[in-house]
Structure 1
Amino acid sequence: MRARCLIVDDEAPAREELRYLLTTFDHVQVVGEATNSEEALTLLRSLTYDVVLLDIRLPGGTGLEVAAALREAPNSPKVIFTTAYPDYAVEAFDLEAIDYLVKPFDAERLGRALDRALSAPVEESEPEVPSQPGRAAGWASDPLGRIPVQQGDRTVLVDESAIVYASAARGYSYLQLSGDRVLVNYSLNELERRVGGHFFRAHRSHLVNLDHVRELIPDFKGSLVLVMNDHRRSRVEVSRRKTRELRRLLGM
């Protein structure tokens, strides 16, 4: 279940640094590198990737052009720009980039970007289930309040209060705990039906435990970003429609 990552950068030291930082994350595997836009597009057409770390200025084109081409492709990977140039962030987000990292950055900052990329909506995501009026989704909760997690040949029961947030993963879900991230055999919709009313469907790909929200930050699109209280201080975006619902729920 390791995410497949492509690094695109024309400078060998930069690619080496990214490979080194990515060794911090057991759930990510570098399976390709490209040094220019043509190589990048060739690799992207020949193999399925989950995430691309993409520089802006490349021989033969730009990372923005590569990202634009990816928008037309089915099941395209999520794009994280990694660049020394801060001036192209607006164009990058217009191309639906997940994040824009300006060099130098550390493993913690890269980790937050990867979390966002790997929990972003996928085409196979199930339709969003409407919440019960006046309450977070998950009305018909599991009375045990436990989620079974398969670990090797044994099953561990995770108390739902320990779940910081959950994210969609192509028919499965990732549970972000305080210091760990585990995969469960439930879609996000199924998980939403199991947990209690203190969970909120912030996005079709995110289910957050409101008890673990540390901060609410408005973004430039008029939505909210939730800063969670796990060890990475993960950030979870709230969709624009769900932002209105959350504001009502919190009396904001």
Structure 2
Amino acid sequence: MRARCLIVDDEVPARAELRYLLSTFDNVQVVGEATNAEEALVLLRSLAYDLVLLDIKMPGGTGLEVAEAVRSAANAPKIIFTTAYPDYAVEAFDVDAVDYLVKPFDAERLGRALDRALSGSAADADDADAQPAARAVRSEPLGRVPVQQGDRTVLVDESSILYATAARGYSYLQLAGERVLVSLSLNELERRLSGHFFRTHRSYLVNLDHVRELRPDFNGALVLVMDDQRRSRVEVSRRHAGQLRKLLGL
């Protein structure tokens, strides 16, 4: 059964291009189009869609507002943002977007987003518990992480990363003064970074070089206090607390 898709974009050529690209996929059927946020909400409340391809900036409201309005609904559709603006990715994932595509993109990139939305495999993989502490030692780590900033890619050195958190197949990197989004899952980051990083929780990957304190939690787990100015705190699950103590010789 094909997924029912709604296209939301105020530009006619953009909607036509999306419809054309989607026509190349057998598992998706376009059953509606909207030109602004108000139309989108009317359609979303009148029919159960499986998937929405959603622009950011439109008359009468933003795509972010549309996503926020439907995210808590029963059987809420999966949201893929398709936009010319690269600067709203963090906000998009904060409203549970599955993917964020910056125009122009091709059928291959759209196909990866559809796979993520319709199979859930990326999110499931990211939620899986990491292997025991032996995984902290990896061969040939790359040590640098690509971060997209507008039309350029900045390579962030692992030494500047305090910790990373999961975000539906993507990850947020917490740096000393900012948080940035990267198109790598925690599992991919774990393979890419050196043995200084430890998976403290299925949702956290921590640079042990930036840990300032370990504090016991009330349920037998640990909380790490980082060495940044805000003294950020990172949870260590009970399962991984013992492994971390052994790794640190405690």
Q: TM-score, normalised by structure 1?
A: 0.52
**What is the deviation of 1:242?**
7.3
- Tell me which residue corresponds to 1:55: 55
Question: In the alignment, is residue 241 of structure 1 matched against residue 202 of structure 2?
Answer: yes
Q: CA RMSD, aligned part only?
A: 3.8
Distance 2:129 2:101 in 1: 34
Offset from partner CA, 1:77-121 (integer Å, 9 cap, x none): 010000011111111111111111110000000001111111238
Tell me, yes or no, if the aligned pair for 1:219 and 1:225 is still in contact at 8 Å. Answer: no
- The correspondence for 1:219, drawn from 146, 149, 171, is 171
**What is the deviation of 1:225?**
4.9
- Tell me which residue corresponds to 2:115: 115
Between structures 1 and 2, the one with greater helix share: 2
- Tell me which residue corresponds to 1:170: none
38 and 226 in structure 1: CA distance in 2 versus 1, 3 angstrom threshold: same
- Tell me which residue corresponds to 2:74: 74
- Tell me which residue corresponds to 1:86: 86
Distance 2:132 2:103 in 1: 44
**What is the deviation of 1:219?**
3.0
Gaps of 5+ in 2: 134-165, 175-184, 190-200, 206-238, 244-250
Q: TM-score, normalised by structure 2?
A: 0.53
Offset from partner CA, 1:51-94 (integer Å, 9 cap, x none): 10000111111101001101231110010000011111111111
Offset from partner CA, 1:150-177 (integer Å, 9 cap, x none): xxxxxxxxxxxxxxxxxxxxxxxxxxxx
- Tell me which residue corresponds to 2:38: 38
Counterparts in 2 of 1:123-138, with a 5 A limit?
Answer: none
- Tell me which residue corresponds to 1:98: 98
Counterparts in 2 of 1:15-26, with a 5 A limit?
Answer: 15-26=15-26
Gaps of 5+ in 1: 135-202, 207-217, 228-239
Offset from partner CA, 1:104-140 (integer Å, 9 cap, x none): 000000001111111238xxx9xx9999999xxxxxx
User: SS of the residue aligned with 2:172?
Assistant: coil
User: SS of the residue aligned with 2:19?
Assistant: helix
Report % sequence identity: 70
Distance 1:32 1:241 in 2: 38
243 and 13 in structure 1: CA distance in 2 versus 1, 3 angstrom threshold: same
Distance 2:100 2:128 in 1: 31
